[in-house]
Structure 1
């Protein structure tokens, strides 16, 4: 391997790592650009190139480019590396699966904070999402009357003494072993 090829391989690995990091942080456009550049440097038929393209396929889908993701996945189904082929087939099946319909009460809306500017008068507050319920007040229970000690059955206390003696003898026997 020449130094030029090893430099290209190192650059491809660096772009692969940068693309993975961008993808994991939700920066899908940045991930797509890093992974595309890394894929070109690594070469599509190599194991590293296949792994980069798998991540690129996921980044395409996350960046709302599903047709490109499916096309790349179908291309990867013919990749020389068996593991890349198998994973791409699984991901393509998932990408082609029909979307399930969700009921509106199952989904919690998340406000878009990208248009929010510093010092903007339209601040997000909890009051925009309905009032919060008041916390219930603690209910105090009336004090219980004191126990009448003459009503307590003390005949069963003999068993407690026998159990206590048995425990002491057992611990004493273990101590002398």
Structure 2
């Protein structure tokens, strides 16, 4: 499989229909974003009559990966395709793959999106400023390294006093 991010690919009409069917599947742990916006749907193509969807889990231990793969398979079947799901683990998923629309949807849902540049040492080791998704204050504090899922940390805004999840940089 080609290693380009889906936004960099050109698809023929049939592959675009496959993409459109698979892309709308919501993430089961963060249902405000779909698998395309989250960047875990890497690519699709038609191979010998099968609609092949390439999926990269957010991390290898993600408990939702099987549910995501099954949901994509169902969506493709319902769209009239014979599906096959291929899990791609290299290159590893990064929060940099979350689309701008996905980041805005996270914020509107009450989850602070990850800061851009996941390869930054500051982002990787938690020395980043996390703005509150409710009031946009940067006067926040980390309460726990883990939030509602392992890929999120729990924060609290010191101004509006609201707790919120922060989607960690990976």
Same fold (TM over 0.5): no
Structure with the higher fraction of residues in helix conformation:
1
Larger Rg: 1
What's the TM-score bracket when you normalise by the shorter of the two chains? under 0.3
